[in-house]
Amino acid sequence: MKEPVINNILVSFKSDDGHESLDVNFDPAHETVWLTQTEIADLFETTTENVVMHLQNIIKENEIDEKATTKVFLVVRNEGIRKVKRQIKHYNLDAILSVGYRVKSKQATKFRKWVNGVLSDYLKKGYIINQTKIKIPNLSEITQMLDTYRQFDGDLQLSGNDVLQFLIAYNRGLSILDDYDHRTFRTPEGNRDTYLINYIECMDIIHRSKFSGKSDNFARERDQSFNSSISTIYQTFDGEELYPTLESKAANLLYLITKNHSFIDGNKRIASTIFLYFLDRNKALFISGRKRINDETLAALTILIAASDPKDKELLINLILVILG
């Protein structure tokens, strides 16, 4: 029997000083929350060993029913460039509060009130907005960012109309990603890729591109990250692809090449070229004779990725998928 995959709503609980927060798995179906031993320790500012000791005593004293208050979830975690699945025991609100009242009763009381507030909000509205969720820049910030790059970045020359076209696509992406905050966002299903690109082939495409030869450092690699980016999109776990659709592969390929800054010169142009090449080889660059992503939007996307916080990777990937449509 397969273990359930944790698929609840992440809501951030702030510490007393308002600076640190803990992502809490809120389970509206069962009107509870789920935390691991480590997360309980972080919540009450104690050690994991101390939490384990209290849980053992609480269960031994029949204060809680272990079967009713614990559940093992299959959790997917990022470990380096790998996505790893782990079976991890989680504890519900009753168990969390039982530990809290023994360790830090004031914090436990605050946490209980916060959970009740979140639950009440959900029952009234039908969704939860995570106020501390990392956000990608708004349109005014993006406009300023693009203007700065237009002036100082030789890689990309965007006209005012180019920026406008990108902002239209970006605004559409933000609108859809707002649904993501409401947990109604659905990533487009996508299609299976039929063509596998490789490092040697991609380097050949780069050297034959119209940008090649413009500088001695063009396409000169800083490290092995370009090869790694290509390998990453084909990674598997337990016989299953981590990026099963050609769209998810393309989005991650664009993000990784751009963000890793694999080349001394021409990095964003190269990222865009390989992104388009991958789509083209998989017969996915055009839909009904129309290009899936125009050059202006792609150019501005690479700027956004390059300037983004690494913590925003998931949102940037989703934005690319939304624009690909």
> Each residue of 157-181: pLDDT tens digit?
444 444 445 544 544 444 444 444 4
Where do the H-state alpha helices sit in the chain?
37-43, 48-60, 66-69, 93-103, 105-125, 139-152, 160-181, 199-207, 225-232, 246-260, 267-281, 295-307, 313-324
- Which amino acid is located at 131 in the chain? Q
Residue of 71, 75, 60 whose CA lies nearest to 93: 71
Architecture of the structural domain at 139-324: Orthogonal Bundle (1.10)
pLDDT confidence tier of residue 302, bands split at 50, 70 and 90: confident
- 107 vs 78, more confident: 107
Please state whether the predicted TM-score (pTM) of the whole model is above 0.85: no
Cα–Cα distance measured from residue 237 to residue 249, given in angstroms and rounded to the nearest whole number: 15
Average pLDDT for 302-320? 79
Q: Are 234 and 241 contacting, i.e. CB atoms less than 8 angstroms apart?
A: yes
Contacts 24+ apart (CB under 8 A), 16-21: 16/107, 16/110, 21/132
The residues spanned by each domain of the chain are 9-125, 139-324
